[in-house]
Structure 1
């Protein structure tokens, strides 16, 4: 046994790396969205999920950063989403230019809503962009501290006492275990 093995370290194997820094996260890949695309994400996101007096709009919680990180990631799912999102953003901006002579981000709220309503209710390609954009928007928003508060999620908190599984939930678990023969 060499010194590295005896001390618990190994220069031969690196493992998967360290745990992510969730306090001040850092993305290990370059961001790929342009400033124009980020502005479109903000404008579109705020129409789909407008802020309230209690909970701000997605633009206020950094939704463009979430999208930029997501579509810039070098993974198959995110790369597929990058194509859908960037193509869809271009389509939204083009529809705005065709109808109103200016880009989507420069439109007022009522005209933005007109474009969104048209996209959400039209062809399968346009609709698939809208559905995926909305899904990512909600995922990004409701995993922020503000989003957690909005849905009442308190996270992993210590309990003085564990109340146990509610009887109606235990019945469901028992039924499923029986079906599996366990």
Structure 2
């Protein structure tokens, strides 16, 4: 990504997963670096994502300038949310926002993937890693019955 694309990506990451309580935002955790690395990989799926993400970052800045006269990263949170609201649910997107909705779906998935694989994101989920068990009694009887194993 270019510096301008990274700036837009960081702003969008921060909008998608904002800071809450003691948990930092996706932008604070540099999730846009993860996305940049992801779309820079030479594999076919990541290269397809690259086309989607780079075109989408261009789209969101163009849409921001059209609506508000500034790049996405320079908008107020309310202005950013107004654009995101138009593209956050693809089935409801107006025809002129279909491209933006396709981009937003992919970018939101990448943002969540990057965020929830950080230590802070895992902590936010309540994941504490593997913990030793003194013993394992197996699955409860009702589960075995439901599976027809008893």
* Equivalences for residues 37-116 of structure 1 within 5 A: 37-116=5-84
Between the aligned partners of 1:37 and 1:71, the Cα distance in structure 2 is 12
Moved more, 37-46 or 156-165: 156-165
Larger CA Rg, structure 1 vs 2: 1
Q: In structure 1, how many angstroms separate the alpha carbons of the residues matched to 2:66 and 2:35?
A: 26
Contiguous gaps of at least 5 residues in structure 1: 1-32, 178-182
* Counterpart for residue 140 of structure 2: 166
- Contact 2:64–2:70 (8 Å) recurs in 1: yes
Give the 3 Å change call, closer, same or farther, for CA 170–148 of structure 1 in structure 2: farther
Match for residue 94 of structure 2 among 98, 122, 128: 122
RMSD of the TM alignment (CA)? 1.7
What is the alpha-carbon distance in structure 1 between the residues aligned to residue 26 and residue 34 of structure 2? 10
Aligned to 1:59, what secondary structure does the other structure show? coil
Give the structure, 1 or 2, with the largest relative contact order (CA under 8 Å, sep 6 or more).
Answer: 2
Distance in 1 of aligned mates of 2:145 and 2:73: 52
- 2:31/2:111 contact within 8 Å kept: yes
Q: Which residue of 1 aligns with 2:105?
A: 131
Aligned residues: 143
Distance (whole Å) between structure 2 residues aligned to residue 113 and residue 144 of structure 1: 25
Which TM-score applies when normalising by structure 2?
A: 0.86
**Structure 2 gap segments, 5+ residues each:** none
